[in-house]
Amino acid sequence: MKNLVICWMLLGLITCANAQSNQGRTITGTVADLITHDSLPGVLVVVKGTKKGATTDARGHYSIEVPAGNTHLIFSYVGYASQEIAIGDRQTINVELAQDTKVLSEVVVTGYKTQVRRSITGSIAPMGAQPRSFHPLPNPSTESYKAMQETGFLDVRRQPVTTFSADVDRASYSNIRRLLNNGQRPPKDAVRLEEMINYFSYQYPQPTGEAPLSITTELAESPWNSGLQLLRIGLQARRVKNDQLPPSNLVFLLDVSGSMSAPNKLPLVQASLNLLTDQLRPVDRVAIVVYAGAAGLVLPPTSGDQPQRIKDAINQLQAGGSTAGGAGIELAYKVAKDHFIPNGNNRVILATDGDFNVGISGEGELQRLIEQQRKTGIFLSVLGFGMGNLKDSHLETLADKGNGNYAYIDNLPEARKVFIHEFGGTLFTVAKDVKLQLEFNPAYVQAYRLLGYEDRRLANEDFKDDQKDAGDLGAGHSVTALYELIPAGTKSQYLPKTDSLKYQTLVDTKASAQSGELLTLKVRYKQPADSVSRQLQQVVKTKSVSFDRATNDFRFAAAVAEFGLLLSESSYKGSARYRQVVKLAKGALTDDSEGYRSEFVRLVKTASGLTASGEVVDDDNN
């Protein structure tokens, strides 16, 4: 009998072991520099043959779930040689990476041509004879962010109309990701809700008429404020096949000053632009202007059918000197103007950490220069790189004034997202000066609040003013906005406290209620070459659903918004909790072939461990 019991126990242990083997396991470890032994934050760790990945934190630590049957991990970081490590039966794998003179080797790129494997390697400027010590926690005081004043709820009877500019920038999310992966809680002003929400793609329908964009709306319960509603508005720009896009006249404006010498700055800029170069066609032209102590032209306009010549010019760059950013911008615009393509895509692409300390440096002077050039049809896109001295507020302003978009690139996968997966949207505008205006029906809505878009608010009279600049949509881009609503008759602590009006005419509530209309939404836009705007209009009915019956996209967008409310310590976060964010996001992980939504869940768990509240979310208690 005793032997029988032992057999059953052994059988149970074997069964558990097999079950765990089938479910996979968690591998942990650290990554450091081979020579200095300094921790390396932000190293990408990927399970070979899958899209499953993780990044190291501020101490170089990582944790990754490895599905059953997978045998290797790949460790990669810009400026270092990648390593492929066999897992074996280990639970802990510590790795030391060696610095390399090649940014990456053999990456699959897709674009205008059939998918092929091409080398985009090239020599990178030496970063010093002695091994460079990597400092994972730079002084955050050297980074600057525009102060944000959160907007509260507005009384519909006093302010029934709200107007704002579209925004497709995504820089805030990737910058927040960089900070959290480095063990730093983001400054409140670094959290821009609209950029976090718009970082992700949503399944909006393509436009079917002449207009270059479609409108989608959805109404459900608010998951963090009981009794309130959440309204989602989605604009989808028409997708255009890459081979049907207009020819490009691109000028790469590259910061090669001394502050750009770190591995996640100039070397990452070079790797990113190598990716972009592989997307070019023979009809496209590229020039390269650099600036440090002075500005100069290192590559005259060159056809896209000479990719190696373009890469050679990119890869031979070295960092050093001060930052004559103003002179660089002036020269870049001159080159773009001299080779202007009528009805083409004429654009300057600025890559920098944001320092402008020589030449034109005043915000006003730079803005006027960029606004003047914008009127000629030459747009400006801005790419932010690096940590420690990122001038986020400066870069966002330049992109806004230049009719371009602002992206922050913290690693090579983000560069692939910007320059391969979102190539058309990054570079080609299909609708400019896009504005949205909503008029709420007081019979159904007492008060409303737009989440984010603080620096995109417009006066209502700006809506029809075609001289007023607004946001632009690139090919295939989408814009998502969320409004939180206090329904009529609902008691809420957020209701504005104001005296009643004496002389205003009361709205015919009965007639308004009979219409069943929650609001009227208007959208104005211009074709890229036009100076006169056109208008779309859509009525939104009062039909609302419970949150659990909303679409996956709605629920995921709400999860991202709730995360932003927590990071910014919003006064309107209600019952928001990190645990709830994880639950909502994990319930909406569909259409996640690139793993961005899964990465978001990991990021929320990381953020929960940095809070003062002690609410730590992990795989066991989410």
pLDDT digits (tens, 9 = 90+) for 424-480: 777 788 999 999 999 999 999 999 999 999 989 999 999 999 999 899 898 999 999
Which among 346, 502, 350, 511 has a CA at the least distance from the CA of 443? Answer: 511
How distant is the alpha carbon of residue 415 from its chain centre? 11
CA distance 446 to 234: 23
CA distance 192 to 400: 15
Mean of the pLDDT values across residues 34-48?
A: 81
Joined tokens for residue 357: 């300390």
Is the pLDDT at 532 greater than 90? The verdict is yes
Mean of the pLDDT values across residues 224-242?
A: 95
What percent of the chain is modeled with pLDDT above 90?
49
CA distance 297 to 289: 4
pLDDT at 509: 62
| DSSP-based three-state secondary structure for 614 | coil
CA distance 398 to 452: 20
Mean pLDDT lowest for which of 204-208, 279-283, 404-408? 404-408
**More confident call, 529 vs 11:** 529
CA distance 325 to 331: 10
Is residue 274 within 8 A of residue 314, CB to CB? The reply is: yes
CA distance 555 to 591: 13
Is the pLDDT at 308 greater than 90? The verdict is yes
Joined tokens for residue 288: 């390269």
pLDDT at 205: 96
Joined tokens for residue 382: 């801005």
Is residue 352 within 8 A of residue 294, CB to CB? The reply is: no
Is residue 223 within 8 A of residue 580, CB to CB? The reply is: yes
CA distance 584 to 562: 10
pLDDT at 441: 96
CA distance 78 to 414: 12
State the sign of the Cα–Cα–Cα–Cα dihedral 575, 579, 585, 587: negative
Determine which helix (DSSP H) or strand (DSSP E) holds 300, and give its type and residue range. strand 295-303
Determine which helix (DSSP H) or strand (DSSP E) holds 116, and give its type and residue range. strand 116-118
Q: Where are the alpha helices (DSSP H) in 258-386?
A: 266-277, 307-315, 325-338, 363-374
Is residue 277 within 8 A of residue 310, CB to CB? The reply is: yes
CA atoms within 13 A on the CB side of 450: 26
**More confident call, 38 vs 223:** 223
pLDDT at 454: 94
Mean of the pLDDT values across residues 599-612?
A: 89
**More confident call, 2 vs 490:** 490
Q: What's the predicted TM-score (pTM) here? A: 0.78
CA atoms within 13 A on the CB side of 499: 3
| DSSP-based three-state secondary structure for 53 | strand
Instruction: Express each pLDDT in 102-126 by its tens digit.
Output: 433 333 333 333 333 333 333 223 2
Instruction: Express each pLDDT in 124-177 by its tens digit.
Output: 232 232 333 333 344 445 788 888 889 999 999 999 999 999 988 899 999 999
- Dihedral over alpha carbons 77, 83, 84, 89 (to 10 degrees): -100
Is the pLDDT at 8 greater than 80? The verdict is no
CA distance 60 to 80: 15
CA distance 300 to 34: 39
CA distance 244 to 72: 40
Per DSSP (E only), the strands in 412-561 are 429-440, 445-450, 457-458, 471-474, 478-487, 517-526, 534-541
**More confident call, 280 vs 388:** 280
pLDDT at 338: 95
Instruction: Express each pLDDT in 173-218 by its tens digit.
Output: 999 999 998 888 999 999 999 999 999 999 999 999 899 999 999 9
Mean of the pLDDT values across residues 90-97?
A: 93
pLDDT at 221: 97
Burial of 241 (0-12, 13-18, 19+ CB in 10 A): exposed
Instruction: Express each pLDDT in 284-307 by its tens digit.
Output: 999 999 988 667 899 999 999 999
User: Which residue is listed with tokens 């030459």?
Assistant: 378
CA distance 185 to 264: 20
| Per-residue burial over 22-52, b = 16 or more CB atoms within 10 Å of its CB, e = otherwise | eeebebebbbbbeeeeebbbbbbbbbeeeeb
What is the β-pairing status of strands 378-385 and 406-409?
Answer: parallel
Phi and psi based region of residue 485 (left: phi greater than 0; alpha: psi -120 to 50; beta: remaining): beta
Distances (CA, A) of 460 to 160, 166, 326, 616: 10, 14, 34, 43
CA distance 180 to 58: 8
Determine which helix (DSSP H) or strand (DSSP E) holds 84, and give its type and residue range. strand 83-86
